[in-house]
A and B are shown apart, each in its own frame.
Chain A
């Protein structure tokens, strides 16, 4: 897919967010097309790169609370990456951030449109389960 041929190829994803009743903003630059939005107060993003328009990533980033041990977070992330459909969980140790992403290879962003609700659900549920698991781990200690 050549972005010069298809114009703004993120429009189907904007329409999908519109269908979901969500507000969003665009922040494009020379390298990437980005959509930022919130759902139930949590922040999400969709990004695609101009030199690789077949790649689309949906995600949400969270700060690790101070009381969570980074090694425990990495253990949970690894377990999720084995078990979870769609979602990749990555812990950025230095920044103490955790990133939940769904990475897709598509011939058109329109292919993603009917699945945006499901992908948001799995991102939301994975983040909730991640922090629940770490909270339960603290309790067990």
Chain B
């Protein structure tokens, strides 16, 4: 019987991408498949004991200028509301966040049929989150500059 991870890995390779397969937990049959597309590394978690369940995730680095922004978690929550199938998790002391989608398509074959749609949804959500975080940072910087100019007064 073909392993779930082998089915998914073969699909990704057939689509043109190198795949790195790591078995995370042999007894539970959990594996992580890493591949790269459009300059971004994605991971797919597969479960041999539950071939109906997959997680597809990728990490986004928060730009330096936005890392100290206290609103980033709130911004992620707002964007997550617009992409309910994608979950964001802040990591590395606010230096990056993970965008992940958990899928229950019914079978490995069904998962591969929807594969690029899932990648696109995660990518759209992650890119939107980065744009909003940077936007809010720039807006805040502009507001701070304006407030500072008012409080300084005339010399």
A-side residues, CB < 8 A to B, are 20-23, 37-42, 117, 120-121
Residue in contact with A22 in the complex, picked from B14, B18, B116, B119, CB distance below 8 Å: B18
Are B16 and A38 interface neighbours, CB within 8 A? yes
Whether A41 and B116, one on each chain, are in contact in the complex, defined by CB atoms closer than 8 angstroms, is yes
| Interface pair B38/A23, CB less than 8 Å apart | no
Q: Is the CB of A23 within 8 A of B17?
A: yes
Interface residues on B, range: 10 to 19
B18 vs chain A, min Cβ distance (A): 5
- Listed in ascending order, the chain B residues whose CB lies under 8 Å from chain A are 13-18, 35-39, 41, 116, 119
CA distance A96 to B31 in the complex (A): 44
**Are B39 and A38 in touch, CB under 8 angstroms?**
no
Which single residue of chain A is at the shortest CB-CB distance from B116? A40
Task: State in angstroms the CA–CA spacing of A121 and B40 once bound together.
Answer: 13
Q: Which residue of chain A lies nearest to B15 when distances are taken between CB atoms in the complex?
A: A41
Contacts of B38 in A (CB 8 A): 117, 120-121
B127 to chain A, nearest CB (A): 13
- Contact check, B36 vs A23: say whether CB atoms are below 8 A apart: no
**Complex Cα distance A10/B15, Å?**
22
The 10 closest A-B pairs by CB, nearest first: A38-B16, A21-B36, A41-B15, A21-B18, A39-B16, A117-B39, A40-B116, A22-B16, A23-B16, A21-B17
